[in-house]
Structures are given as C-alpha cells and as structure tokens.
Amino acid sequence: MPEYQAPLRDMRFLIDHVFDFHAGYAALGASDASPDMVNAILEEGAKFCENVLAPLNRSGDEEGCHFDNGAVTTPKGFKQAFAQYVEGGWHGLAADPAYGGQGLPQSLGLVIGEMVGSSNTSWGMYPGLTHGAMSAIHAHGSDEQKQLYLRKLTAGQWTGTMCLTEAHCGTDLGLIKTRAIPRADGSYAVSGSKIFISAGEHDMSDNIIHLVLAKLPDAPAGTKGISLFIVPKFLLDAAGEAGERNALSCGSIEHKMGIKASATCVLNFDGARGFLLGEANKGLNCMFTMMNHARLGTGMQGLCLGEASFQGAVRYANDRLQMRSLSGPKSPDKAADPIIVHPDVRRMLLTMKAFNEGNRALAYFTAQLLDVAHLSSDAAQRQDAENLLAFLTPICKAFMTETGLEVTNHGMQVFGGHGYIREWGMEQLVRDCRIALIYEGTNGIQALDLLGRKVLGSQGKLLLGFTKIVHRFCGAHAEHPQLKAHVAQLDGLNRQWGELTTRLGMAALKNPDEVGAAAQDYLMYSGYIVLAYLWLRMALAARQQLDAGQGDSDFARAKLATCEFYFKRLLPRTAAHLGAIEAGSDCLMQLPARCFAL
C-alpha cells in the first residue's frame, strides 16, 4: 500500500491563503475554530489517519467483511479503529453541541473527512453513513427523536444508515415497494427488502439506526408518496438504551469490485417497528436536505483516492529506474534514470496533481458555502450560499469522481505491471473509486440535475450566480502581469458557457431530449471551467507569496507550474465536450432500440 501522508501543506495553503477559512469562521461567529484549534485538529487528524486507518486499508480489502447467519463482522482492526476515532472526539467534530457534538464548522469536518477517505475509504463509510443519518434526524426529527437518537449517534455508540434502494429501483425511487402500516401505538410496521445498504449490519456499534423509505397505505403514487422512517435494529427500552431486537435482518452482503471492507447489505424488514421522521409523504424531501452533503462527500472520495494514488505514484516515479531521458542521462551514476524524467510519466503525474489540487480547492470552496448556509445570520447570504451549493453539488459529485477515477488509473499506469498486482495497493484505489461514479445518484443523474433541474430549471439563474463570480474575478485580474493570458482564457470560456447554456435552453424548449443528450458533457465542460477559476485563485495566492518572499517558494512555483499545465493540457478538453454537446440529440435518438445489437 502506498504510505499515506496527509497533504497538510496544501490544505493549509487553501485554508490560510486561498480561502481564508479563519476570516470566514470569525464572520460566522465560529469562535471555537480558532487558527490554533484548526491547526491542532489538522495535526492530530493526520496522525490518526496515517497511523490508525491507513494501515488497515489493504488488509481490509483482502479480508473483506464476513457474513454469517445474519451477522456481519468487519475486517480485523476496524472495530478498534472506530473506538479510537470516537474516543479521540472525531466522530462528533462538526455535530451539534446540544447532543454532545463539538459544534465545529462543517468545512473542518470535510478537511478531516478527506484524510479519512484517503487513508481508508471503506472504513470511512461507517461514520460517513452515520453522519448522513444524523443530519436527517437533526433536520426533520421531533425534539423527542433528536433526544432519543442524536446523542448516541454523536457519541458513536450507535451508527446509522440510509435505506433507499430496492432491487428493482435505485434511480427511480417512486417505484419502491416497502410498505409502512400504521400501528395502534402511533408507530408503523415496516415491511420490504432494501439492497445496497452501506453499513447496514456490522459489529462496530451497539445499535444501528436505519432511516428507511417506505410507502404508507394511502400514499399517492410515485415520488410524492414516499415517507421516511426511523427503524432501529434494537428497539429502545424505557431508559433509551438498545433493548429488544426489531423485526429486521441482514439477508446477505454483496461481493463487490471494491470498497470490500464496507458492508453492503441486503436488509429485510418483516413488520419492523418504525417511527415516522418528518411529515408523511415528504420522505424524499427529507432525504434531499442531506443530499448536498452526501453528494459532496461522494465527490470527495474521488479526491481522497486520487490523492492516495498520487502519493504512491510520485514516490514510485522517483524510485523506479528505467530507460534514459531522451535529452541525455539524468542519473549517469545509476543503471537508468528514475522514470520521473520521462515527459509521458510527468504528463500522468501532473494530470493527477492538477485534478487533485483543483478538486481539493473545489471541495473547500464548496465547504465554505456549507458553513455560510448553516451558520450565517443573514438570510440573503444564506440563500446565496444555498444557490451556489445547489449549482456546485452535482459538479462536485460527478466531476470529482470522474477525474478521481482517471487519476487513480494514471497512478496505476505509472507503476507499470506492478500497478496491476494487488500487493502494491494501486489497483485497489481504482476499484474503490469506481463506485463513487455510481452511488449517491449516478453521474448521469447528477448531470441531469445540473443542467435540467438547476441551470435550466432556474432559467439560468443558478449558473449566473457562479459565472458572475468568475466574471468579476476576470475583470479584477485582467491585467495581471504573469497570469493575464490564463485570465483571458477563463474569461472567454466563461462567456462561451453562458452562450452555450442559452442555446441549450432554447433547444430544450423544442425537444426535452436535448437536455439528456447534452447533460454529461455539459457537466464535465462546466467542471473544467470551475476548476480553471479555482486554479487561477490558487495561482494568484502563490504569486502573491512569491512576490512577498513568504512561504515555501518551491511550493508556490509548483502551484504556478501546475496551473499552467492545467490551462494548457487539460482545459482544451472543453473543446471536445463542446463539440459533443453541439451535436445535439438526433444522433443519439434516431436509432430504434431494437437496432442497437443485431
């Protein structure tokens, strides 16, 4: 396994210089998150992830989870690591102090989440799903429900799940068959079978609180007839402790391509006692309130695994001796040059670096918006942040995972044949990453969400909220002595983006299939432009540091060189996506379904 070191320098560069989290925290009254506190959390979080989680990553993949007669055992060390995580206070870092959390900003939770995901994505699924369940109960639970569940969940004594998918429906939740029948005592009898339930059953906590989508007997058809229920594995006794076993069981666990240490369960509910969470028939809305966070978290997996892969690849490229540089030997005293001298190896490494650091900037930019949306006392500011979040979330989820998969594949390729061997750990990163393009709404669904629901659904308003920021930025830096060429390139793309969107809006009025035909390329096209903006912000900050003689000049120069690489070698991909978008829907729709395979 490539040894993981938390990229603290890059994290601090973003936190301190590019986005100034500290000013943000001060403005939002998050006074606990002082610069010293932030720094201590980064240091300690890095130690925990490097020393406790990372060593369990490959062994967890090899061992996988064990299923025996309804019980799931996680790989060796997982349970102990979770206990240490809880003990160290990591589980409640960004949770509400009213229920025992530390109340630190979401953005700080995300920074730690990156370290967790890079060191052990499978392990991170268990607390990750719990945080999702906590958000939903926090947002929609009654006071009693919050008291009953949130304290134990925050303490990590219990964990949580989200039970949405059934065998015949994942994307199309309107088709779910799980039923909830009211009981005399106000609870419900939940019956049905759910699949793909991450952390659905395991040995890491005393109880598991399932959030289950189900239909009431009189529910309207489709997505407007779905309700959300709290269904604990063990029903609570009078003292609020885990008591009698509920009528639900784990039927099996899936054998998957990757994230093998994450238990992906079939859960059978056989008249299990459940409790309505939020309003009846508004279950999907309840789920959606935590969707932004969950989707950003899934996007992060692309970054996390990309970072782990990059660290392995750079080390290998410096160590592995093979062939001579075409421009003359670089290590004449050795049998061959390290492969990092070869332009094509550098192309792969710089592609990885440019996506990882760009994606990290995107994640932090978005996390700051999460803070504002949660903490600001100014309603207009909150609404602006919500709008930008709505726009950026599908891009984070899909663009960061598509590029994350590309990055992990490059990392494997740098290793040559050794990359394909399990022992080196590079292929696991590809396998673990692959699911992130699928779950939490496939990337195709994200693309439809971006173009259809968000951009065109708001008559372009949500796009304009972002392009305005870019427009102002380009105006302010149009004359920058070193960066003006890149600023001009971004400015041009930003205009093209708006014009393209207008054309798509017109075309969609005539033919709704134009939206689906353009969506995936539109999302990727948008992602490249968003990252170009963020790369320029990083380059500006690096330039300022260099000009002021502050910081590490090697680091700043690497930022500038990677920015240049991004603009010259990756941003041209927008042309391919633009071409595909402009081809329209006819070339997709004309072939009758029966003629695809003959």
Active site residues: 440
Q: Taking a C-beta distance cutoff of 8 angstroms, is the pair 96, 147 a contact?
A: no
Token pair 């393209």 is found at: 500
Shortest distance (Å) from residue 464 CB to a second copy: 24
Shortest distance (Å) from residue 345 CB to a second copy: 7
Instruction: Name the residue nearer to a second copy (CB basis): 460 or 516.
Output: 516
Nearest partner of 448 among 390, 492, 394, 485, judged by Cα: 394
The Cα 7–Cα 14 span in angstroms is 11
Instruction: Name the residue nearer to a second copy (CB basis): 239 or 598.
Output: 598
The 3-class secondary structure across 200-240, one letter per residue, is CCCCCCCEEEEEEEEECCCCCCHHHHEEEEEEECEEECCCC
Shortest distance (Å) from residue 241 CB to a second copy: 35
Identify residue 556 by its one-letter amino acid code.
A
Shortest distance (Å) from residue 249 CB to a second copy: 20
Structure tokens at 390: 């709505």
Exposure class string for 99-133: b at 16+ Cβ within 10 A, else e? bbbbbbbbbbbbbbbbbbbbbbbbbbbbbbbbbbb
Shortest distance (Å) from residue 408 CB to a second copy: 11
Q: Taking a C-beta distance cutoff of 8 angstroms, is the pair 521, 584 a contact?
A: no
Token pair 């990885």 is found at: 352
Residue 199 φ/ψ region, left for φ over 0, alpha for ψ in the -120 to 50 degree band, beta for the rest: left
The Cα 121–Cα 128 span in angstroms is 10
Nearest partner of 474 among 465, 463, 460, 486, judged by Cα: 486
Instruction: Name the residue nearer to a second copy (CB basis): 140 or 260.
Output: 260
Instruction: Name the residue nearer to a second copy (CB basis): 33 or 414.
Output: 414
Taken in order 161, 163, 167, 173, the sign of the CA dihedral is: negative
The Cα 70–Cα 247 span in angstroms is 12
Shortest distance (Å) from residue 340 CB to a second copy: 5
Instruction: Name the residue nearer to a second copy (CB basis): 231 or 435.
Output: 435
Instruction: Name the residue nearer to a second copy (CB basis): 66 or 347.
Output: 347
Nearest partner of 501 among 466, 472, 551, judged by Cα: 466
Nearest partner of 410 among 311, 547, 327, judged by Cα: 311
Instruction: Name the residue nearer to a second copy (CB basis): 181 or 583.
Output: 583
The Cα 40–Cα 517 span in angstroms is 48
Shortest distance (Å) from residue 66 CB to a second copy: 16
Half-sphere exposure of 100 (CA within 13 A, CB side): 19
Instruction: Name the residue nearer to a second copy (CB basis): 181 or 321.
Output: 321
Shortest distance (Å) from residue 524 CB to a second copy: 11
